[in-house]
Amino acid sequence: MAESDSFNDSGMGEIPTRWKGICEPGVKFNSSMCNRKLIGARYFNKGLVAENPKINISMNSTRDTDGHGTHTSSTTAGNYVEGVSFFGYANGTARGVAPRAMIAMYKVLWREGSFASDVLAGMDQAIADGVDVISISLGFGKRTPFYEDPVAIASFAAMEKGVLVSSSAGNRGPNSRTLHNGAPWLLTVGAGSIDRQCATTLTLGNGLTITGWSLFPVDALIRDVPLLYNETLMVCNSSDLLSEFGNDAIVICEGDGYDWTNTHPLQADSIVQSTVSGAIFIAAYSLYQEDSDFRFPGAIINPRDGAKVINYAKSNNEPKVTINFQQTFVGAKPVPLVAGYSSRGPSFIYPGILKPDLIAPGTKVLAAWVPNQSTSVVGHNLKLTSNYNMIQGTSMSCPHASGVAALLKGAYPEWSPAAIRSAMMTTANPLDNTNNPILDNDVFLPALPTMMGSGQVDPNKALDPGLIYDVGAQDYVNLLCSMNFTREQFLTIARSSNYNCSNPSSDLNYPFFIALFSETSTNIQEFRRAVTNVGSGPSTYRANLIQPNGTRISVSPKKLVFQKKFEKLSFTIRIKDRKQRDGNQVSGSLAWIDSEGKHVVRSPIVVMSVFEE
């Protein structure tokens, strides 16, 4: 939405003369809505109209009627806006990752339907207009081959023009091989949690105070209300029973963390339809932070605190509780957690390149919204609106990474998309804020690289990566030539007959290593890589290996001595697998560490079985 405060042009510089884009007028959108922040706006639906000539497109313009595009673009590059909150939660100053970057919007999805040709046309136009980064929070099916995927096709052209395309991994987790946007020339972004807790404070009648999770959007008056503990009632799935035994009380409910997304909506409906005053959920899992329904005064607490609440309720004849909403705390631990919804790799279409590349904040992200779309619901059907909304998905994590890419492009305009991606990947953090391995929020065990890529993106470290793994257009062509595509399929992606397949190779200079073994394959695989010194001058790096369980890995040479900046040196990594994997995967890493300890250039290593279709 162009009118959003996040798109004001205060503090913005002049539009660069190389910019070729326009602000295309349409329904409820005119060219004057653009400014020095929002410098371009176009819309694409010729494919949709060609397939449905009689279709009536309700908002035939770039204007956002859904909120998704407004949210993602303001996350990437929204300007500073003070006094923003989500109904009192997360109050503060909103800004995008790259608040001084300019934005051009390309509307390619429609309420009436969407077509691949329109997505392709929009991305091609963005490239022609002169954008530096494309952020695309959409994707096609995981089984869509590259030569039928408009994002893969258009992003190949973007790569040729030096434009990085940052894409969402998808929201089909936690199962493996569910991600889309797995093309090797893309940046593929998964989602993690953040350390902000939108909270409520429970004060029991005995004075004990407990902090819980809540997004109930009203500053409700819950003061010295009866607290009900009934072991039979704790399933909280019958409005009749809740009304009969819990009228006007705060009831204690048991949350099934392992099946939260299925059980909680039924419980929420029962509570809303009853005459209780609210509910306290005891849940062992943290998935509730990803998918919670707070249409009623409620809070979610962990089992340890839940035992205290139950003990108090059982030991008092007239237990009472006071609840204060709209609280916000930062510093939650452990963070990040790989979101349960975040799609996992490897890519179904091409597992030979490990995806996703990294994760970025995607859960409960607060960003700009459109006023005609509900942002919260209270009771049966009281819909609330706000200029800023808190939602989750890899659609939200992708623009975080896009903003980092924009910052890197501004700092190093000569860097290729692969160089920018490499800097982000090799400096990503595999540890959480307790300095332990990042956990998978689905099973609360250490996350694998197929879940989180290299780890959580670290913008500051990405600005000084030390070494980069660069990849050129011909390198990607060599990879395509190894994929057994027909000539027509190859040309659909490359869109040029000037390339040749004289040197097909599946060993792309990627900052990841994934060794796929089968019962019939050799138990040794080799990978050759080249790294470029982008540090300040001469430097020496030594290899540090963390061996995956059941493997033997060697790297040669073990030391890289760079005599000058921009020098490129090569090395070979040899992986010997000593076990039958039976579909399981093990992981380790290779890190090049400079002699001063300033740079740690880390690449995950994954060893797993070849997938059986």
Q: What is the DSSP string of 178-215?
A: ------TTSEEEEEE--SEEEEEEEEETTS-EEEEE--
Q: For residue 610, what pLDDT band results from cuts at 50, 70 and 90?
A: confident
Checking 608-612 for CB contacts under 8 A at 24+ apart, the result is: 608/514, 608/515, 608/516, 608/517, 608/581, 608/583, 608/584, 609/516, 609/517, 609/518, 609/580, 609/581, 609/582, 609/583, 609/584, 609/585, 610/516, 610/517, 610/518, 610/521, 611/177, 611/351, 611/516
428's torsion region: left (phi>0), alpha (psi -120 to 50) or beta? beta
Instruction: State the pLDDT at residue 2.
Output: 80
CA dist 253 → 240, 299, 457 (Å): 15, 10, 37
Residue 581 has pLDDT above 80, yes or no: no
Residue 472 has pLDDT above 60, yes or no: yes
Q: What is the pLDDT of residues 177-212, one digit of tens each?
A: 999 999 999 999 999 999 999 999 999 999 999 999
β-strands 250-255, 278-283 pairing: parallel
CA max distance for the chain: 84
**Residue with structure tokens 């009228």?**
247
CA distance 290 to 173: 12
Instruction: State the pLDDT at residue 224.
Output: 97
Report which of 48, 49, 39 is spatially closest to residue 18, judged by C-alpha positions: 39
Q: What is the pLDDT of residues 86-142, one digit of tens each?
A: 999 999 999 999 999 999 999 999 999 999 999 999 999 999 999 999 999 999 999
Q: For residue 568, what pLDDT band results from cuts at 50, 70 and 90?
A: very high
CA distance 63 to 110: 11
Please give the mean pLDDT across all residues of the chain: 94
Q: For residue 522, what pLDDT band results from cuts at 50, 70 and 90?
A: confident
Tell me the Cα Rg of the chain. 26
Mean pLDDT value of segment 315-324: 96
CB 12 within 8 A of CB 79: yes
Instruction: State the pLDDT at residue 256.
Output: 59
Residue 404 has pLDDT above 60, yes or no: yes
Percent helix, strand and coil across the chain, each rounded to 5? 25, 30, 45
Residue 291 has pLDDT above 70, yes or no: no
Mean pLDDT value of segment 282-288: 69
Least confident among 54-68, 296-310, 509-523: 509-523
**Domain locations along the chain:** 5-193+337-463, 196-330, 467-471+508-609
Q: What is the pLDDT of residues 429-464, one digit of tens each?
A: 999 999 999 999 888 899 999 999 999 999 999 999
CA distance 160 to 474: 10
Least confident among 33-42, 375-384, 474-483, 599-608: 375-384
Best-predicted range by mean pLDDT (152-161, 257-266, 272-281): 152-161
Report which of 180, 200, 204 is spatially closest to residue 190, judged by C-alpha positions: 180
Instruction: State the pLDDT at residue 261.
Output: 60
Please indicate whether residue 583 or residue 17 has the higher confidence score (pLDDT): 17
Range list of H helices, 220-302: 239-246, 260-273
Mean pLDDT value of segment 339-359: 96
Mean pLDDT value of segment 317-342: 95
Residue 173 has pLDDT above 70, yes or no: yes
CA distance 225 to 236: 18
Element (H, E) at 553: strand 551-556
Residue 258 has pLDDT above 60, yes or no: no
CA distance 282 to 233: 13
Q: For residue 267, what pLDDT band results from cuts at 50, 70 and 90?
A: confident
Residue 533 has pLDDT above 60, yes or no: yes
SS3 of 393, please?
Answer: coil
The identity of residue 403, as a single letter, is G
Q: What is the DSSP letter of 7?
A: G
Q: Sign of the CA dihedral 454, 456, 461, 463?
A: positive
Query: Which pTM value belongs to this model?
Result: 0.95
Q: For residue 266, what pLDDT band results from cuts at 50, 70 and 90?
A: confident
